[in-house]
Chain A
Amino acid sequence: KQEVTQIPAALSVPEGENLVLNCSFTDSAIYNLQWFRQDPGKGLTSLLLIQSSQREQTSGRLNASLDKSSGRSTLYIAASQPGDSATYLCAVFSGGGADGLTFGKGTHLIIQP
């Protein structure tokens, strides 16, 4: 059974810092990995998707990397802003059409103004 772990569980940093969120998964046989952002009581916003054949994806100040063989992904946030405060979820897709995503427990991020 696939298990996804995110470290740290919570992080509080001053505005402007660069930061790294970590995600690991136990079964390397994945099709893709997705990073999401969730604001309190809201739905999930897809930030980046990395397919299993890719090493990284970038969108604005966000960069996600994937090392499939070691079962690890990182989300790098450059020049953090208070608006980045949210919970960041890592999820892997391991199956065919009958499977959903397996999520980590998330990193709760607070950016101090």
Chain B
Amino acid sequence: DTEVTQTPKHLVMGMTNKKSLKCEQHMGHRAMYWYKQKAKKPPELMFVYSYEKLSINESVPSRFSPECPNSSLLNLHLHALQPEDSALYLCASSLPSSANEQFFGPGTRLTVL
């Protein structure tokens, strides 16, 4: 199994809602990542979990809260988002190793009204 899965595929939420994005991999990878991609822009790193230890990109607002319940599962909890948070949210995983090839999921298209 060389697949990273993400649910839901699409999500529409209001600014007062709380929702969660889910990512799962069964490749035995020990690093998992959240990236945010705005339209016609490259992906930007939000969070990294490596061996279930979190590294935070300090520019990410606190309305985004990651969670790694186990080495195969990664969640992104969303609360009080703004319309400018509308984007494609991509999950990726890697071993990690010196090669550190990252494999991406299909993404969740988020729209904040």
* A residues at B contact (CB < 8 Å): 31-32, 34, 36, 41-46, 49, 51, 89, 93, 97-106
**Partner-binding segment picked from B11-19, B48-56, B62-70, B71-79:** B48-56
How many contacts between A and B, using CB within 8 angstroms? 67
B104 lies within 8 A of A43 (CB): yes
Known A-B contacts A32-B99, A32-B100; A100 and B45 likewise in contact (beta carbons under 8 Å): yes
Known A-B contacts A31-B100, A34-B102, A105-B41; A97 and B90 likewise in contact (beta carbons under 8 Å): no
In the complex, residue of chain B having the shortest beta-carbon distance to the beta carbon of A54: B99
Most buried by B among A51, A100, A104, A106: A100
Interfacial chain B residues near A103, Cβ < 8 Å? 42-44
In whole angstroms, how far apart are the Cα atoms of A49 and B97 in the complex? 13
In whole angstroms, how far apart are the Cα atoms of A92 and B99 in the complex? 11
> Secondary structure at chain A's binding surface: helix, strand, loop or mixed?
strand
Interfacial chain B residues near A51, Cβ < 8 Å? 98-99
Most buried by A among B42, B55, B88: B42
In whole angstroms, how far apart are the Cα atoms of A93 and B33 in the complex? 13
Interfacial chain B residues near A45, Cβ < 8 Å? 104
B31 lies within 8 A of A97 (CB): yes
Q: List 12 A-B contacts (CB under 8 A).
A: A31-B98, A32-B100, A41-B88, A43-B107, A44-B92, A46-B102, A46-B103, A51-B99, A93-B100, A99-B48, A100-B45, A101-B102
